[in-house]
Amino acid sequence: LFIDGDVLVIDKPAGLPVHAGPKGGPNLEQYLDALRFGLPRAPALAHRLDRDTSGCLILGRHPKALRKAGILFSSGRVDKTYWAVVEGAPPADAGRVAMALKKETPKQGWKMIIAKDGQE
């Protein structure tokens, strides 16, 4: 989607994890070397998206760019917008979902659930 001397922005498809999971399988990190575009090292992830999430993913093309991107993310200077495909229509054009979430880790893997004792 975008490339300059510092960053590369790609469109990550849903279903592809960015890191290898405990069971292995295809993941984005396996393909980063093909995205060097003339630089001596492969780009690295500036942030992550969940396996089932598609969208823009920012990669740092060298260590200094990766550090700068990390500072932007950690300082809250990067806005993320999430869109969802839903059946039907919400009652208003805009709104906020405010529910506490908690990580649940059953034997088959972890998932996020709505829970009163979760994180706001």
Is residue 50 annotated as a catalytic residue, yes or no? yes
For residue 110, give the nearest of 56, 57, 50, 54 by alpha carbon. Answer: 50
Query: If you search the block for the tokens 């809250």, which residue do you land on?
Result: 76
Q: Which of 6, 11, 33, 50 is catalytic?
A: 50
Tell whether pTM > 0.85. Answer: no
**What pLDDT was estimated at residue 111?**
81
Q: Give the tens place of pLDDT for each residue, 74-120.
A: 998 998 888 877 788 878 888 887 889 998 887 777 788 899 998 88
Cα gap 38→31, rounded to integer Å: 15
**What pLDDT was estimated at residue 80?**
86
Q: Give the tens place of pLDDT for each residue, 48-82.
A: 998 889 999 999 999 999 999 999 999 989 988 88
User: 88's torsion region: left (phi>0), alpha (psi -120 to 50) or beta?
Assistant: left
Cα gap 68→65, rounded to integer Å: 5
User: 41's torsion region: left (phi>0), alpha (psi -120 to 50) or beta?
Assistant: beta
SS3 of 53-111: the string is: CCEEEEEECCHHHHHHHHHHHHCCCCCCCCCCCCCCCCCCCCCCCCCCEEEECCCCCCE
